[in-house]
Copies of this chain bind each other. A is one copy, B any other.
Amino acid sequence: MDLLNREFIQQLMDKSLHNDLFLGHFGLEKENARVDHEGKLALTPHPEAFGSKTENPYIQTDFSESQIEMITPSFGSIEETYRFMEALQDIVSLELKGEYLWPSSNPPILPEDEQIPIARMNDPLAVKYRHELADKYGRKKQLLSGIHYNFSFDERFLRKLHETFGHGEDYKDYKDSIYFKITRNLLRYRWLLIYLTGASPVFDKTYIEKCVSMGKSDDKMSYYFLNMNSLRNSACGYRNEKPLYVSYDSARDYVQDLNALIQQEELLSAREFYSPVRLKTAKGLNPLQELAEDGVAYLELRMIDLNPLHKIGISKDTMYFIHLFILFMLLKKDETFGTEEQKIADLNHDQAIVEGIEGSLNDSQDCRGTMKEMALTCIREMQEMVRLLHPQGEELLLILNREKEKILHPELGFAFRIKSDIQKSTYMKYHLAKAKAYAEESVKSGYRFAGYEDLELSTQLLLKAAVKRGITFKLIDRDENFVVLTKGNHKEYIKQATKTSLDSYSTVLIMENKIVTKEVLKERGIRVPDGDAFRSLKEAIAAYEKYDDKAIVIKPKSTNFGLGITIFNRGFSKEDYQKAFEMAFEHDRTVLLEEFMTGKEYRFLVMGDEVAGVLHRVPANVVGDGVHTIEQLVHEKNKDPLRGFGYKTPLENIQLGDAEEMFLKNHNHHWGEVPSLGQIIYLRENSNISTGGDSLDYTDDMPASYKALAVESAKAAGATFCGVDMMIDDLTSEASDFNYSVIEINFNPAIHIHCYPYKGKNRKADEKLLDLLFGEVNN
């Protein structure tokens, strides 16, 4: 059987259009019910962190307040779309306190119908519509969740198609004809797509009574229908009350028929037309009018179940397969698709769901034989399509082969595997375990933004926080971590997370210049280390009185092996001071005097008028347990998911390199040694995070007086975002005029280190950044 339009394919190749055929824009929308730790539908409100339900373009509610809808932007590749949905799921999961995303299309444990919370909306029309749906279908049915797969062709490809194959019609009409052709074919062949993607075979006893009563159960807790792979796509699923038939011949006919159904009060609005494929417009405010005027912008495939076998409910393979299936529907010969054909398609749909594909196909024209035969033909033709048109299509051929295996071996299908696993456990345990495992995965990668791992961690966190509250973003210069965030008319251009419009250029220049920094800090009465450079002994001696009440270090400007360095405590004599300089001048013509800063160094992250976080860093180390060797302890410590290589993680692995080995040796340790319980073994002199150092959160332990000094330091430079490095003698006493010193203020402070410290709380610096840039959530 030859389903492909070979002539069309040949023409595409002749005109070199086959490359652009595979271009397209992909988007995903999916719903998940929120559940508590027992798998009961969560009756809590939609988390405030996600901002306005209607204005957040990424995270909304659907019918029920308990149903979270996640929406990706449209991307030019499946890869990006997939990753973004993963990121959305991570973002949402991290915000659910003690709740989980229910991974199945079929609902969790439901309360009585009237207790299912309808989404609280500000718009009274939106509330009214939901109540009408609730009355018409029951709330339980509305809780069936699924995935919408959005697809459009590359605009240039469509225009070339129009130029090449058009018959004088205008571009809009030509484009519509393409999308309507695909829709007709998709509806006709959807039985195959549902067969291959169906993943909702079992449902809970709290689901709609009528369906439960018709179902079969092994444990009287969950129910199923024999061979049924998708409850959601079944008669017990999400469908119009009775079958509705409209013309798919053209946008005009389609709009006309739908308007008639609305006028006949068969439908509340066009939105209630639950066709498995929906023809979508660009704006989406007034779909039918827009369809008539502007035509189809993209296709929405609505029959895809949430697949509990995958974290985000759909695998990349499935996404690629659906794409190929859509292209196949374009390249397949066209057929009439009137009411009769639509009824047959519905029959095939139900048959595939309920009985599988062993039976024979209900069809009139080209599709004959058993469904299985037809399914295999389709796969074969799709493989042919890839081979002809996609020169690098090997991966795609493998994907098609795997789908073929599912046709040949029904036990490989999603629904079969899920049902079989549920039968070894329970419906509830199975899905809850999945939900918790996926939530755990999200926590582990909480610091990163899936799909944006090439960006700096601070930028990843900022973008995730933006997405969470519905602020859209665009990477203007990805290599530079340069983004623009947009909320309504408010745009913010941001580089490297903390380089923003809230700091003035002069503020940055003040911080960048050490001389100027000291100047503005001193002027504000903030203590900074004193210092001077001397070119003669005479000059140096003349400055004695300036420094004799301080601890100082005297050192040649360039020093080798610490030669010529003297450190003095307060109260040194002029004679000793002179001797120290004489010694230092033996090593260099210029000798530096610097105030010797005692105490520990702390990084204060100042954001606006407050300190968002305080960190202290300690060199790479392990703590003995009396059992493991130093080497083993390092390996153990490196298992922390926050640690990794190359600045892609908040902390770096401790290395087992020469520098560490030398350091151990110099301190009379070695790799094979077993430190005693609680013994701290350092592996580095320096405390940099980049060499495995630990970051310790001191935000709650830092006395208020030092925090006030940090804020003052930022204000001295006029800074909104600023990292203040302060040496502090003793945290048990408040700041005095002598016991601290600000050694640096930094204009591009990292925020991720305060969100993911080695020890301590996430200080939400990303959120505070956005609060300052855009106002707090819901403002």
Residues of A within 8 A of B (CB): 476-477, 480, 482, 492-495, 499-510, 513, 515-516, 519-520, 718, 747
Contact = CB atoms under 8 A, between A and B. Distances in A.
A501 B493 contact: no
Given A480-B513, A501-B505, 14 more contacts: A477-B516, A482-B513, A482-B515, A482-B516, A493-B718, A494-B506, A495-B506, A495-B509, A499-B509, A500-B506, A501-B506, A501-B507, A505-B747, A508-B508
B506 A476 contact: no
A493 B477 contact: no
15 contacts: A480-B513, A482-B513, A493-B509, A493-B516, A493-B520, A493-B718, A495-B506, A495-B509, A499-B509, A500-B504, A500-B506, A501-B506, A502-B504, A504-B504, A505-B508
Contact of A504 (B477, B482, B505): B505
A480 B482 CA distance: 27
Nearest to A502: B504
Contact of A718 (B501, B502, B747): B501
Contacts of A495: 506, 509
Contact of A477 (B500, B502, B515): B515
Contact of A503 (B494, B502, B504, B519): B504
Nearest to A718: B501
A499 B506 contact: yes
Contacts of A513: 476-477, 480, 482
Given A476-B515, A476-B519, A509-B493, A501 B504 contact: yes
A149 B510 CA distance: 36
A706 B476 CA distance: 27
Most chain B C-beta atoms within 10 Å of own C-beta, residue among A476, A505, A508: A505
Contacts of A718: 493, 501
Q: State the number of copies, please.
A: 2
Contacts of A499: 505-506, 509
Nearest to A509: B495
Contacts of A476: 513, 515-516, 519
A115 to B, nearest CB: 49
A506 B519 contact: no
Contacts of A504: 500-505
A156 B510 CA distance: 30
A477 B518 CA distance: 11
Contacts of A501: 504-507, 718
A653 to B, nearest CB: 33
Rank and list the top 9 A-B pairs by shortest CB-CB distance, nearest first.
Answer: A501-B504, A501-B506, A493-B506, A503-B505, A495-B509, A477-B515, A476-B516, A505-B508, A476-B519
A729 B513 CA distance: 43
Most chain B C-beta atoms within 10 Å of own C-beta, residue among A480, A493, A494, A495: A493
B515 A505 contact: no
A578 B371 CA distance: 50
Contacts of A482: 509, 513, 515-516
A125 B36 CA distance: 81
A107 B519 CA distance: 46
B480 A493 contact: no
A494 B501 CA distance: 17
A506 to B, nearest CB: 4
A747 B506 CA distance: 12
Nearest to A514: B477
A629 B477 CA distance: 54
Contacts of A516: 476-477, 482, 493
Contact of A510 (B493, B502, B515): B493
A591 to B, nearest CB: 20
Contacts of A507: 493, 501, 505
A154 to B, nearest CB: 12
A510 B501 CA distance: 10
A510 B506 CA distance: 16
A386 to B, nearest CB: 21
Contacts of A503: 504-505
A493 B510 CA distance: 8
A625 to B, nearest CB: 48
A475 B497 CA distance: 32
Contacts of A500: 504-506
Contacts of A519: 476
Nearest to A545: B156
A578 B519 CA distance: 61
Contacts of A506: 492-495, 499-501
Contacts of A509: 482, 493, 495, 499
A164 to B, nearest CB: 13
A476 B503 CA distance: 20
A710 to B, nearest CB: 20
A523 to B, nearest CB: 9
Contacts of A480: 513
Nearest to A508: B505
A513 B494 CA distance: 12
Nearest to A494: B506
Contacts of A747: 505
A505 to B, nearest CB: 5
Contacts of A494: 506
Nearest to A500: B506
Nearest to A519: B476
Nearest to A478: B515
Nearest to A513: B477
Nearest to A20: B542
A494 B505 CA distance: 9
Most chain B C-beta atoms within 10 Å of own C-beta, residue among A477, A494, A718: A477
A516 B481 CA distance: 11
A484 B226 CA distance: 82
Nearest to A483: B516
A456 B477 CA distance: 33
A516 B477 CA distance: 7
A494 to B, nearest CB: 6
Contacts of A477: 513, 515-516
Nearest to A159: B545
A495 B505 CA distance: 9
